[in-house]
Amino acid sequence: MTKIAIIIGSTRPGRNGEAVAKWVHEHAGKRTDAQFELVDLKDYNLPHLDEAIPPSMGQYANAHTQEWAAKIASYDGYIFVTPEYNHSTSGALKNAIDFLYGEWNNKAAGFVSYGSVGGTRAVEHLRLIMAELQIADVRAQVALSLATDFENYHIFTPAAYHEDNLTTLFDQLVAWSRALEPLRAPAV
């Protein structure tokens, strides 16, 4: 079965990302075409990138990197739940992505973002990063506004129409994750 990680892309105290990711996971739980799992960056305590050898070499020296690599390698696709900080994604998410290379390759990604303009600028940066990691990003995106999808900018109250966007994101992500499977298969 296709496995998709829903990655909570913020470690900030009081973050909105956890509620958003749980909402995504709740809706994903209604599907039977893939398995979805929450992955919280807070659970990995990754320091600033501290591997001496470039990630593209796949020679990880640190236990925290090896644990993170094993987790990420176990998925066929990813949903990145990202805030927008200063017109980009969070430093914690960018750092976590930068720790690895091969574990990301030939997989698919979708984005659920939130911010003052729906987090769209964060996703634009992430799309560029995905290209370098050989990740196919899907077109569908859920963009949540802090002004209209959160009460007092903190209590998550998404508009109902986001569910249709989320369903489209799931459909595209599962299809692309499956389509890329032959590229991930070991050479015979």
The pLDDT score that the predictor gives to residue 188 is 55
Strands 150-151 and 155-156 come out as: antiparallel
The pLDDT tens digits of the residues spanning 76-96 come to 999 999 999 999 999 999 999
Structure tokens at 93: 């998410």
The pLDDT tens digits of the residues spanning 161-183 come to 999 999 999 999 999 999 999 99
Q: What is the residue type of 74?
A: S
The pLDDT tens digits of the residues spanning 60-76 come to 999 999 999 999 999 99
CB atoms near residue 163 (< 10 Å): 13
Domain annotation for the chain: domains and CATH numbers: 3-184 (3.40.50.360)
pTM above 0.75, yes or no: yes
User: Is 147 in a helix, a strand, or coil?
Assistant: coil
CA 143 to chain centre: 14
Question: Cα separation of 4 and 77, whole Å?
Answer: 5
The pLDDT tens digits of the residues spanning 16-48 come to 999 999 999 999 999 999 999 999 999 999 999
For 98-137, b/e burial (b = at least 16 CB within 10 A) is ebbbebbebbbbbbbbbbeebbebbbeebeebbeebebbb
